[in-house]
């Protein structure tokens, strides 16, 4: 069976890995939620071979694709089911240095975003981080007309989906004990947003742009 793949992953994985370098520690285990086809995590495990990577998704439907992409790699664990809507993660015991979530919160109910930060609160080490990638509104406004049209199309498909307001995400992160730490403007009107646990004092929020630009 042919492995499922998405063109957007091929376009963004290098740029995402550049941002991850700014927050990843030298060792530890990183949990990816909404791993999907495993294309991102199979790339990250080679880019960051000293880290251990834990793929997960809300169902095991695509676990075969993740396994096929990563079975020969020693630093990727077997995928596990984590449904952010059911808080099944409360039975998890392992401590992670970070949680990575790519292109999920706009194609899931808002409660999945809430579940993501509740998960992070339960499983991330005291100096850990949460990394989000995707389109965001800022101050209730879209950064481009293409994002506006994308948002409309999402809501037409499912009324519980949609491009999220960054301030709303920051608010629920804070309620779960995470500071809004850093944001990177990414190609094709996306953002990389990093949150860190609140025991890290005197954090300065920074805004940057990636060095390279992708064609949309």
DSSP assignment letter at 5: -
The three-state (H, E, C) secondary structure of 138-161, written as one string: ECCECCCHHHHHHHHHHHHHCCCC
0.85 surpassed by pTM: yes
Cβ(195)–Cβ(169) below 8 Å: no
Percent of the chain scoring above 90 in pLDDT: 81
27 occurs within a structural domain? yes
Rounded CA-CA distance 65/4 in Å is: 7
Task: State the pLDDT confidence band at 7, using cuts at 50, 70 and 90.
Answer: confident
Domain extent, residue 14, equals 7-209
Task: State the pLDDT confidence band at 201, using cuts at 50, 70 and 90.
Answer: very low
What would the pLDDT profile of 71-112 be if each residue is shown by its tens digit? 999 999 999 999 999 876 665 678 899 999 999 999 999 999
Looking at residue 183, which CATH number applies to its domain?
3.40.50.150
Phi, psi of 63 (to 5 degrees): -65, -30
Whether the pLDDT of residue 39 is over 70: the answer is yes
214 occurs within a structural domain? no
What is the predicted pLDDT for the residue at 94?
Answer: 80
The predicted model gives 128-146 an average pLDDT of 97
69 occurs within a structural domain? yes
Instruction: Tell me how long the chain is.
Output: 216
Q: Say how many CA atoms lie within 13 Å of 215 toward its Cβ.
A: 0
62 occurs within a structural domain? yes
216 occurs within a structural domain? no
Domain count, the chain: 1
Rounded CA-CA distance 135/118 in Å is: 21
**Helix residue ranges per DSSP H, the chain:** 7-20, 39-47, 63-70, 110-123, 145-157, 166-175
């Amino acid at each position: 069976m042919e492995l499922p793949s998405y063109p957007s992953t091929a376009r963004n994985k290098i740029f995402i890995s550049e941002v991850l370098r700014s927050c990843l520690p030298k060792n530890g285990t990183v949990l990816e939620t909404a791993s999907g086809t495993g294309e991102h995590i199979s790339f990250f495990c080679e880019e960051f071979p000293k880290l251990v990577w834990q793929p997960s998704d809300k169902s095991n439907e695509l676990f075969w694709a993740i396994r096929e992409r990563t079975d020969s790699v020693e630093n990727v664990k077997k995928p596990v089911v984590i449904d952010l809507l059911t808080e099944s993660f409360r039975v998890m015991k392992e401590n992670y240095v970070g949680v990575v979530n790519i292109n999920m919160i706009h194609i899931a109910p808002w409660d999945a975003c809430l579940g993501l930060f509740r998960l992070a609160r339960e499983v991330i080490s005291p100096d850990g981080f949460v990394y989000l990638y995707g389109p965001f509104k800022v101050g209730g406004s879209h950064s481009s007309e293409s994002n506006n049209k994308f948002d409309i199309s999402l809501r037409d498909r499912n009324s519980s989906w949609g491009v999220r307001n960054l301030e709303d995400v920051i608010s629920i992160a804070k309620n779960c004990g995470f500071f809004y730490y850093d944001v990177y403007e990414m190609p094709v009107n996306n953002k990389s947003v990093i949150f860190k646990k609140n025991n890290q004092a005197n954090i300065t929020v920074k805004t940057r742009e990636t060095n390279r630009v992708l064609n949309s």
